[in-house]
Amino acid sequence: MANFGGHAIPGSFFLLLGFWLTVKYVLQHYWRTNQPKGRQITPPFFKKMEYFEGGFQIFAAFVGIMVEQFVVDGPHAHLFNKDGNPWVKLMNWQHSTMYLFFGIAGIALVASNVSKLVPAGVDRLTISLALFVEGFLFYFHVHNRPHLDAHIHSLLLAAVFCGSASAMLEVFIRDNIILEMLRGGLFILQGSWFYQIGFVLYPPSGKQWDLEEHSNVMFVTMCFCWHIAVALLLVTCTFSLVWFTVKRFSARGRDIEIGMRNTSSKSNSQKALLEESDEE
């Protein structure tokens, strides 16, 4: 991971996840506010989104673990050997561990949609746990690095732990649009900050930053605040865009629900209806 690409890949992943969550929760919020009070049946379209999200998380985590393990200079699933150095490629093992927990969060998301047995909130708990583990491992990762390097990673930790706390709150306060947007925004912030770390530590232009210069530390701190402002702006724009797009479509198709049902293919509509009637 010690290059620009190694920070751009997780950055892109988190940006994508952040936008996905924002769009998903805006759609759900639109649905909730436009629903007559008596009916609380979520359309199968939302379930499909969550299956897709969970499935993608599981797939990405699996690929991530495989790549980290079986890349040319990877550990190839060996944890220790009999030679001098006791542990083989601990960095790759740590990244695999982080991916594992995002995979677990994906499994929990799928499971909580498949079965009503899974208590509501388990998906939030596991994503909170995945972020916690990510931050926890990063925290001991950062040790003994140059000043700017340690500082820029500890700012990442701020985003990670806030995301974890926000997801944990959602276990108890459900369907709160502000918390949902906050979580989406914190993923976007995390993603954009991964890119920033890449640009600072491995500048594609080639001009190295002075990692011990105090003014660089001060600039990076301020830059983090700008990323917060940009994440806020992006969430707001996404919210407005999705809201007004759905409003126009739902007005044209007369009913958002009908519009959404049509997107689900005819073939499994029978099954979807059955599932729907299982919902509480």
Residue numbers of the site for a second copy (CB under 8 A)? 29, 85-87, 90, 93-94, 97, 100-101, 104, 117, 119, 121-122, 125-126, 129, 133, 136-137, 140, 144, 171-173, 176-178, 181-182, 210, 213-219, 221-222, 225-226, 228-229, 232, 240, 243
Residue 272 beta carbon to a second copy: minimum distance, rounded to whole angstroms: 24
| DSSP 8-state symbol, 266 | G
By beta-carbon proximity to a second copy, the closer residue of 82 and 252 is 82
Residue 133 beta carbon to a second copy: minimum distance, rounded to whole angstroms: 5
Residue 267 beta carbon to a second copy: minimum distance, rounded to whole angstroms: 31
Q: What are the φ and ψ backbone dihedral angles of 87, each rounded to 5 degrees?
A: -115, 140
By beta-carbon proximity to a second copy, the closer residue of 93 and 194 is 93
- What stretches of 142-172 show up as alpha helix (H) in DSSP? 147-172
Residue in the structure block whose two tokens are 């797009």 = 245
Residue 278 beta carbon to a second copy: minimum distance, rounded to whole angstroms: 14
Residue 137 beta carbon to a second copy: minimum distance, rounded to whole angstroms: 7
By beta-carbon proximity to a second copy, the closer residue of 42 and 97 is 97
Beta bridge pairs of residue 80: 87
By beta-carbon proximity to a second copy, the closer residue of 16 and 220 is 220
Residue 235 beta carbon to a second copy: minimum distance, rounded to whole angstroms: 11
Residue in the structure block whose two tokens are 């912030």 = 189
Distance CA 222, CA 142 (A): 20
Report the SS3 class of residue 87: strand
Q: For residue 158, what are the contacts with CB-CB under 8 A and spacing of at least 6?
A: 224
Of 192, 195, 197, 137, the residue nearest 161 (C-alpha): 137
By beta-carbon proximity to a second copy, the closer residue of 7 and 124 is 124
| DSSP 8-state symbol, 88 | S
By beta-carbon proximity to a second copy, the closer residue of 13 and 101 is 101
CA distances from 153 to 142, 147, 162, 167, 223 (A): 7, 10, 14, 21, 13
